[in-house]
Structure formats: C-alpha cells, structure tokens
Amino acid sequence: MTTWLDIINDPQVLDSSKYLAAGLAMGFAAIGPGVGEGFAAGRAVHGISRQPAQAGNLLRNMLIGQAIAETSGILGLVVAIIMVTRGAGAIMDWGIGAALIGSGLAVGMSAIGPGVGAGMTGGKALDAIARTPEASGKVTLTMLIGQAMSQNAAILGFLISIMLLSVSREMLTAEDPAFWPAIILKVGKYIGAGLCMGMGAVGPALGIGFAAANAVEGIGRRLEHASLLQRTMFVGVAVSESTAIYALVVSLLLIMQ
C-alpha cells in the first residue's frame, strides 16, 4: 500500500519544487523592475511635455535608466531558467527542493528594491534634465552611479541563490531514523537563508535609490554643488548598504551551518 512517505518522495513530486522555485524567482523579480521602469517612463513623458526640445536627450536617458533597472529582473530570469531546465529526477530529496525554493526567494525578493530604487533614481534624473538641460552630463553620471549601487543588493541575492542551487543531497537513506530530522533541518536553513537575503535586500536598495534620486534632483537645482551632493550621496549609500551585508552574512552562516 502506498504511504504518504512514498508520495512525497516520488521523483515527480520532488520535481515540483523546482517549478515552485522558478515561479517565485521570476514572479518576485518582475515586480521591482516593472514598477521602476514605469516610473522612469512616466517622468520622461512629463519632462518632454515641459521641454519638447530635450525629447531626444530625455528618451536616451530614460532607456539607459530602464536598462539598469531591468538588471535585477534578468538575474531572476536566469535563475528561473536554470531551475526549469534542470533534468528530471535531479532533485533527490526535499533538502535540495528546499534549497531551490530558498534560491528562488533570494533572487526574486532581492530584485524588488533594486528595480524600484533604480527606477526612482532614473525618474528623478529625467526631472532634473528637463528642469536644467545644461546639467545633463552630471545628472546622467550620478544617475548611473546611484543605479549601479542600488543593484548591489540584487547581486548579493543572486550570489546566495547560486549557492543554494549547488547544495548536495542528504547522504542518509529514507529508511534511516535520522533522515527526516536532517531533511527538516535543511528545509529550515535553506528557506531561511533565501528569505533572509531576499527580504534583507529590499530596504537597502530602496534607501540607496532614494538617496541617489535626491542627489540627481539636487544637481538639477544647484549644478555648482554637484561634487558636494555626489560625496554626500556616497556616504549615505555606504551606510544604507550595510544591512544588506548583514543579511548576506547571516544567509551564508545558514547555508554553511
């Protein structure tokens, strides 16, 4: 007679974890970039309505800003494709399944903040260019730096995601009394690591985007103080980034414990 243990250990049931993980990876990773890119596009339209002569410059900067905001979404896409194309029967136990789910959470949730943060920076940069076209060069440079910094959190999430993708199977057999306690322990560690890095990346990336957005806005208003504004932005960004590093450290400890 088939037992519930036979069902949950069936290879097809185990394979379901990779599809759930792929959905989490791409589903969450689509949120931030979509919002951020839409915000940037909205500010570009608003800027062109104010400064039609700057339409080409604004459109060019909008596309550059949107491309960077898209980065975290692409990382989620890459991980989702790796999961979906994983061979049938490659998931040997629920420890690996939990690692895949944690991987999806890490790369997916860590994409939310960077996407919104980069889009916020890009949108404010477009406002600044429309207000002060002669500040375009300084504004664009600061926008690119701020957006790149906001993507750091997504890169940390991607790193944890790749580490979780490569975890090994539990060497005990299902008949061993220690098998299920070991599996449950791995489920907690791997999903915990994914949640820690995924959620831990949201706030820092949003904070960096907020700092960079206000820096480009300030340069558009007071071009002569661009260097001072950039330096202040760098200090603020470094402090904002710290909590993402804390999340990375804890996630690594969970994976390697």
Provide the residue type at 111 as one letter.
A
* Domains of the chain with bracketed CATH: 11-256 (1.20.120.610)
C-alpha–C-alpha distance, residues 234 and 54, integer Å: 29
Amino acid at 102: G
DSSP 116-131: HHHHHHHHHHHHHHHH
Question: What is the model's pLDDT at position 79?
Answer: 96
Which tens digit of pLDDT belongs to each residue from 37-85?
999 999 999 999 989 999 999 999 999 999 999 999 999 999 999 999 9
Residues 194 and 103: beta-carbon distance below 8 Å: yes
Count CA atoms closer than 13 A to 144's CA, side-chain side.
9
Q: What pLDDT, on a 0 to 100 scale, did the predictor assign at position 37? A: 96
Contact 198, 113 (CB under 8 A): no
Residue 9 in 3-state DSSP?
coil
pLDDT tens digits, 112-138 = 999 999 999 999 999 999 999 999 999
Question: 129 near 62, Cβ under 8 Å?
Answer: no
